[in-house]
Amino acid sequence: MDFRHFFDSKKISFIAIFAVLTTFSVAKATTYAAPDTAAATGYEAHADEEFEPTKVIMEHISDAHDWHLWGHTSIPLPVILYTDKGFEFFLSSAFHHGEHDHPGKHYTYRLVDKKKIKVVNAAGAVDEEASKNVWDFSITKNVASMFLSVIVLLLIFTSVARAYKRREGKAPKGLQSFLEPIILFVRDDIARPNIGHGYARFMPLLLTIFFFIWVNNLLGLIPIFPGAANVTGNIAVTFVLALIVLIVVNVNGNKYYWKHILMPDVPWWLYPIMIPVELVGVISKPFALMIRLFANITAGHIIILSLISLIFVFKSLAIAPVSLAFVLFMNVLELLVAALQAFIFTLLTALFIGMAVEEHH
Amino acid sequence: MVGSIAAIGAGLAVIGAGLGIGQVGGKAMEGIARQPEAASKIQTAMIIAAALIEGAALFAIVVSLMGL
């Protein structure tokens, strides 16, 4: 079935944006109803606590069940659990930032360490045995942020694709002239030199990888609401990206590729060493892709957050301008890294595909 | 204590990566100075080599992050 007509009308895109914004604002309104007294006492409790940079930083770069806005206000996100007794749906505001347990349909749940949802038994203790049967499919902060980036990408690329259809043969205009050089760069500098003949088949994959990583990196750099999720710095996300590369490379590998792995041009008695090494090479290439993207983006976030933490570690206002200047510098550097990592991931993907589809030997 | 040693490990990894990427960058500069017309090819090869070195360093960083 052809779904293209869904994206054809400009009206639909505006409705989509409007719907997303309304959903978020409605959800926001619900948090305001949270008791103010708790917030007031919460601040006092924070003042007594020793500031622990490691804890704060790890909290900021990890996934969460709510999207933090400011102070004690955050957008609750839906929690979807699959238990041995069936599905369970509720909003994460039911936990009150982990202060309350939520009595669900099948079990009572508790939010442990702001991340893991565990089952609580009648005595009020965490039941580890029962928690093993609970599968968490929640829309977490990272998932919500990925939805947002997908909406952004769809809006940009459907409008640009429409412009190409409407203005065929004419000079590009507006968003078109911003994206055309980037797309041509991916084609002429990444795909064609590394894959060679038959590169066109892989262009959709390479462009999707490039723009998905780039947009998510940039969204992660925005310190306030629509960004601030560490999507490409989450190892699960980069794992799936690397898994896609692994599958594409090996499915498209021709007989020369497999001969190089299973029957390399070495004396036969070296086979017991060479074949395991080559097989490890098949896995280790995407594995390095996964670690590279994850570590780069996470390291960038950690550096920025550490520089901010300096202010609170020294408890001094004088350090703030220095720290802020460094944060600004790092943030600008991260803008470069965001594009560079998207480029490297795409380039290495193209390189691996090129090695797998190479004809002559 | 474990955290401090992890920090030393991260620092050591950065020394290695710095030496490696410095070598790659320096040699690429020399290459471009000798043959400016091959600049774009040298640049691409340089970025790939730098990314591979960086990958090795990042493995070490991730291991020391686990110790933090």
From B47, B55, B65, residue closest to A292, measured CB to CB: B55
Say if CB A86 and CB A95 are below 8 A apart. Answer: no
Give the Cα separation of B61 and A288 in Å (integer). Answer: 13
Q: Chain-wide mean pLDDT for chain A?
A: 81
CB contact under 8 A, B68 and A348: no
Please provide residue A86's backbone torsions phi and psi, each rounded to the nearest 5 degrees.
130, -175
Q: Which of A212, A80, A62 is nearest to A148 (CA)?
A: A212
pTM given for the model: 0.80
Q: According to the model, what pLDDT value does residue A42 have?
A: 42
A21: containing domain? 4-140
Q: Which CATH number fits domain B2-67: 3.40.50.300, 3.20.20.80, 1.20.20.10, 3.20.20.120?
A: 1.20.20.10
Tell me, yes or no, whether A130 and A177 share the same domain. no
Is the pLDDT higher at A72 or at A254?
A254
* Closest CA–CA distance from residue B4 to any residue of chain A (Å): 12
Give the Cα separation of A116 and A136 in Å (integer). Answer: 9
Three-state SS at A103:
strand
Tell me, yes or no, whether A178 and A327 share the same domain. yes
Q: Report chain B residues whose CB lies below 8 A from the CB of A348.
A: 48, 51
CB contact under 8 A, A296 and B58: yes
A-interface mutation test, from B2, B42, B62, most A Cβ less than 10 A away:
B62
> Residue A255 corresponds to which tokens in the numbers above?
């007989």
* Closest CA–CA distance from residue B47 to any residue of chain A (Å): 8
Three-state SS at A121:
coil
Tell me, yes or no, whether A200 and A320 share the same domain. yes
Say if CB A104 and CB A165 are below 8 A apart. Answer: no
For the segment A305-323, the average pLDDT, to the nearest whole number, is 87
Three-state SS at A82:
strand
Give the Cα separation of A57 and A45 in Å (integer). Answer: 19
Tell me, yes or no, whether A247 and A171 share the same domain. yes
User: Which range has the top average pLDDT, A12-16, A158-162, B3-7, B26-30?
Assistant: B26-30
Q: Is the pLDDT of residue A9 over 70?
A: no
Q: Which of A154, A211, A156, A238 is nearest to A346 (CA)?
A: A211
Q: According to the model, what pLDDT value does residue A49 have?
A: 67
Tell me, yes or no, whether A42 and A158 share the same domain. no
Cβ neighbours for A256, distance < 8 A, ≥ 6 positions apart:
A358, A359, A360, A361
- What are the sequence ranges of the domains in chain B? 2-67
Say if CB A179 and CB A274 are below 8 A apart. Answer: no
Q: Report chain A residues whose CB lies below 8 A from the CB of B40.
A: 189
> Residue A62 corresponds to which tokens in the numbers above?
């990890």
Query: pLDDT tens, A107-128?
Result: 778 777 777 777 877 777 777 7
Distances (CA, A) of A217 to A200, A234, A280, B22: 26, 11, 29, 26
* Closest CA–CA distance from residue A188 to any residue of chain B (Å): 12
Last residue of a domain, one of A117, A140, A163: A140
Query: pLDDT tens, A201-226?
Result: 999 999 999 999 999 999 999 888 77
Please give the angle made by the CA atoms of A64, A95 and A74, to the nearest 5 degrees.
50
Q: Is the pLDDT of residue A195 over 50?
A: yes
Q: Which of A144, A114, A146, A107 is nearest to A128 (CA)?
A: A107
Instruction: Give the alpha-carbon dihedral of A274, A275, A276, A280, to 10 degrees.
Output: 100
Q: Scanning every residue of chain A, which has its alpha carbon at the shortest distance from the alpha carbon of B57?
A: A292
Give the Cα separation of A278 and A360 in Å (integer). Answer: 19
E strands, chain A, where?
66-70, 73-76, 78-83, 86-91, 102-103, 108-112, 116-120, 135-136
Query: A22-31, A110-119, A191-200, A278-287: which has the minimum mean pLDDT?
Result: A22-31
Distances (CA, A) of A193 to A79, A343, A359: 46, 14, 14
Query: A29-43, A252-266, A338-352: which has the minimum mean pLDDT?
Result: A29-43
Last residue of a domain, one of A140, A163, A179: A140
Is the pLDDT higher at A67 or at A148?
A148
Q: Scanning every residue of chain B, which has its alpha carbon at the shortest distance from the alpha carbon of A351?
A: B48
Say if CB A121 and CB A127 are below 8 A apart. Answer: yes
Tell me, yes or no, whether A154 and A267 share the same domain. yes
Q: According to the model, what pLDDT value does residue A47 have?
A: 54
Q: Chain-wide mean pLDDT for chain B?
A: 87
Q: Which of A243, A245, A232, A270 is nearest to A350 (CA)?
A: A245
Tell me, yes or no, whether A336 and A290 share the same domain. yes
Number of domains in chain A: 2
Q: Which of A308, A313, A302, A299 is nearest to A328 (CA)?
A: A308
Tell me, yes or no, whether A214 and A346 share the same domain. yes
Q: Report chain A residues whose CB lies below 8 A from the CB of B65.
A: 295, 298
Quick count: other Cβ atoms within 10 Å of Cβ A321? 10
Tell me, yes or no, whether A150 and A194 share the same domain. yes
Tell me, yes or no, whether A151 and A114 share the same domain. no
